[in-house]
Amino acid sequence: MFPSTFDYVRAGSVAEAISILDGSEDAKLIAGGHSLLPLMKLRLAAPSTLVDIGRLSELSFIEDRGDHVAIGALTRHRDLETSAVLKNSVPILSHVAGEVGDPAVRHRGTIGGSIAHGDGASDLPAAVLALDATMVVRSAAGERTVPATSFFKGFLETDLAQGEVLTEIRVPKTSGGWSYKKFNRRAQDWAIVGVAVVRNGSTRISLVNMGSTPLRASASENAINQGASIEEAAHLASEGIDPPSDLNASAEYRRHLASVLVRRALQEASA
């Protein structure tokens, strides 16, 4: 398990990281390293340069900003899990962060790293999707914001272009019920299927590991928001969705699980 040879640069600021990315065709940012390094060790990824932003403390924060909470991209999962601000204002996010991997992973991994990696099987991308969060992206050209619904583009592919750095995630505060159902065989694993439900005015439902990106269960959402019963809505969980088959679950079983978990999550969020 040795990665191919690569150059390593530790960036002293976001601006410096951006300028290094701009000068390279395939440089990759690294923060906690918990998504990228395994790919590199398996030689499924071989960036020529790693730009280490892990020590940019300016990007590690959780701030109450009135109607939303702003989270720095380099905030560790463990800090989300234990944040009083999140527990109070966006409790599902704090809960989901506590479901990621194991304690070692949670002390190293960062929310920005997880979201920028854009893995459809990861917990946090689905959580920010259900929360209708907004990503703040910086580049040499300035800053732009991207809603979560248009951030995740494909398998390990996001709206981030080369030369752009995800710096902040803005999460609307929630006041209604919520639930996160993570189904797996071992505690530290990725979800075989996961379901996040946020009731904040309307109900939003997102799915983990039901596709190459985190997905919204639109048919279920529409049904429940138009007054259908939880059972009826849950039946529609995988409508229009083409889940993967792998060692842990066939597509057919994933569809079944999605229905069961959406029902359970809606019940819990409504309780």
Partner 1 sequence: MTTTETTSGSKVLGQRVLRREDPELLTGEAKFSDDLAIPGALHMAVLRSTVAHGRITSIDTSAARSRPGVVAVYTYQDLKDDWAGPMPCAWPVTADMKNPAHFPLANGNVNYVGDGVAVVVAESKTAAVDALEAIEVDYEELDPVLDLEESISDSNVIHSEIGTNLSYTWELIPNKDAVDEAFAKAAHTVSERYIQQRLVPSAMEPRSVVVVPAPFGGDYTVYSATQVPHILKVMLALTVGISETKLRVVAPSVGGGFGSKLNVYAEEVLALALARKLRRPVRWTEERSENAVATIHGRGQIQNIELAADADGKVTAVRVNLVADMGAYLQLVTPGIPLLGAFLYHGVYDIPNYSFTCRSVFTNKTPTDAYRGAGRPEATYAIERAMDALARKLGVSAVEIRKRNFIPAESFPYSSSAGLVFDSGDYLTNFNKALDMVGMDELLAEKKLRIDAGSRKLLGIGISFFVEMCGLAPSRVLASLNYGAGGWEAATVRILPTSKIQVVTGTAPHGQGHETAWSMIVAEKLGVPMADIEVLHSDTAIAPYGMDTYGSRSLAVGGTAIHIATERVLDKAKAIAAHQLEVAEEDLDYAEGIFTVKGSPDRAFPLAAAAFEAFTAHNLPDGMEPNLEASVTWDPPNFTFPYGSHIAVVEVDTETGKVDLVRYQAVDDCGNRVNPLIIEGQVHGGIAQGVAQALFEEAAYDSAGNLLSATLADYLVPSAAELPSFELGETVTPSPTNPLGVKGIGEAGTIASTPAVMNAVVDALSHLGVENIEMPASPERVWRAIDGATRR
Can you give the binding site for partner 1, defined by CB under 8 A?
1-2, 4-5, 38, 42-43, 183, 185-190, 192, 247-250, 253, 256-257, 260
Query: Are the CB atoms for 135 and 169 separated by under 8 Å?
Result: yes
Measured from the CB of residue 185, what is the shortest distance to partner 1 in angstroms? Answer: 6
The Cα–Cα gap between 231 and 266 comes to: 9
Vertex 174, ends 172 and 175: CA angle to 5°? 150
* CA dist., res. 227 & res. 212, Å (int): 30
**Selection from 151, 126, 154, 160 nearest residue 28 by Cα:** 160
Residue 63 or residue 102: which is nearer to partner 1 going by CB? Answer: 102
CB of 94 to partner 1, least distance (A): 20
Q: How far is the CB of 106 from partner 1 (least distance, A)?
A: 14
Q: How far apart are CA 180 and CA 168, in angstroms?
A: 23
Residue among 9 and 260 whose Cβ is closer to partner 1: 260
Give 90 or 210: the residue with its C-beta nearer to partner 1.
210
Q: In what order do the strands lie in the sheet with 202-208?
A: 178-183, 193-200, 202-208, 215-216
For residue 127, which of 175, 194, 63 has the smallest C-alpha distance? 194
Residues 6+ positions from 228 with CB-CB distance below 8 Å? none
In angstroms, give the least distance from the CB of 38 to partner 1: 8
Whole-number minimum distance, CB 261 to partner 1, in Å? Answer: 8
Between 138 and 182, CB nearer to partner 1 = 182
Q: How far is the CB of 41 from partner 1 (least distance, A)?
A: 9
Nearer to partner 1, 1 or 271 (CB): 1
Beta partners for residue 196, in sequence order: 180, 206
Question: Among residues 22 and 252, whose Cβ is nearest to partner 1?
Answer: 252
Q: Is 51 helix (H, G, I), strand (E, B) or coil?
A: strand
